[in-house]
Amino acid sequence: MAVELTGITKRFGAFVANDGIDLAVRRGEIHAIIGENGAGKTTLMNILFGLLQPDEGSIRLNGEEIVIADPSVAIKAGLGMVHQHFKLVPSLSVADNVFLGMEIRRHGLIDHAAQIARTRDLSKRFGLQVDPTERVGLLSVGIEQRIEILKVLVRGARTIILDEPTAVLTPQESRELFQTLRSFVAEGMTVIFISHHLEEVMEVSDTVTVLRNGRKVATRPTAELSKDELVHMMVGREVSFDRRPRASLHGDVVLEVKDLWARDDRLLPALRDASFTVGSGEVVGIAGVAGNGQTELAEVLSGLRPASHGGAWLKGRNLAALSPAAIRQAGLAHVPGDRMVRGVDRNASIAANTLMGRQHRAPWSRAGMLNWNAINQNAETLIKSFDIRARGPGDAVKRLSGGNIQKVVLAREFTNGADFLLIDQPTRGVDIGAQEAIHDEIMRQRAAGRAILLISV
């Protein structure tokens, strides 16, 4: 076995994140770990990589027991981990990021040519196409992930852990990633990946382990299981996305977009001549492969990017004349595509994050002072309503799983009372049971007369 975890238990106060989990991963296989948000998947992999220490249990790598005190021990033992949220330096080149902390030196100086050549060789060998000389800050998130994988490879990893690797990828990028994972296995490496996308689990994995509420439900060969069986093991019930909504109300126009053009960060045209309306009680979908103007559209509508031509009007008010705060006051609620950058303050509590944008309103503010009793009561209500897996309102958002962080954003924005909901990738990084609940909530918002612009790939 490449990896053997025995009796792994991890507690955070009274909350048990991992409860006596046994996991065995064979050398040269692709092993998927699935489960609901908060099931303990990332915690378990963070323990394996030395980011957390177990309260109970042991770890064996290639048959030898090992104490992984920190990530440096894991790296020396041949482990590598690609996290959900990347750790790159935007101002440096691709090659400099790949070798950051272990630079190739010649005569005491960094040998940039050698780093570029090594990066290029690795990228060609495993189908991770990158330009080693390009500055990372100008690259797409899909390319950034390739850089993170190259960082792991250059440090000699033989067992590679990927946490939600396709959550930020286009379908084409996902297919290319699967080819890369298969090339790892062909060279005798082992891959462990966490996913909420059951189709990709069925397609690419050899073995699947299901976690629920911090415990292992099963480990089975993927070929023996159906998607419905996996869903039932994950959530303990059937999940249905078969919706027959009533006909759209087609009420008054809430948002009008006319002849809208916008440029991306490189000043190239990203959005061209977009025109549409969204009425109350209506959901308008924006579909397509990521990177085709969706981000720029959302940023223009939320006041974060100027239009280069044309405009947008929210209930008759020209958005170009309003600040982002004024646009929210005018009736916008926004679920951003990148929750960690624009959706939350990861160091603040759940209660503080559910308050953002409404801190000056009653009952959360009185005579210029925050009413923390009301704030915490509201947060407790949202935690229950949106099934946020946390100990309580005081938990820091950074301690939540990615899917539960998304639920915090959705809870805040869906209960904001806004007339217009701008929803960008609402189910990204969210388990299948939560996806069902989010779809139902969107339909409830529609039935309540909200105008909804839904961006999804």
Domain boundaries, the chain: 3-235, 253-456
Would the pLDDT of 47 be above 90?
Answer: yes
Can you tell me the mean pLDDT for 42-49? 97
Q: Could you tell me if 364 and 378 are in contact, meaning their C-beta atoms sit under 8 angstroms apart?
A: yes
**Whole-number pLDDT of residue 362:** 86
Helix, strand, coil fractions of the chain, as percent rounded to 5: 35, 30, 40
Query: What rounded mean pLDDT belongs to the chain?
Result: 92
Q: What letter would DSSP give residue 268?
A: -
pLDDT at 243 over 70: no
Tell me the pTM: 0.77
Range in 222-226, 275-279, 285-289, 423-427 with the lowest mean pLDDT: 285-289
CATH architecture of 3-235: 3-Layer(aba) Sandwich (3.40)
Residue 282 pLDDT more than 60? Answer: yes
Degrees (nearest 5) of the Cα angle 183, 216, 224?
A: 55
Is the pLDDT at 399 greater than 70, yes or no?
yes
Domain 253-456 CATH (choose: 3.40.50.300, 1.10.1040.50, 1.10.3720.10, 1.10.4190.10): 3.40.50.300
Sign, Cα dihedral of 22, 25, 26, 31: positive
Alpha-carbon dihedral sign for residues 172, 174, 177, 179: negative
Angle (CA) 400 54 222, round 5°: 75
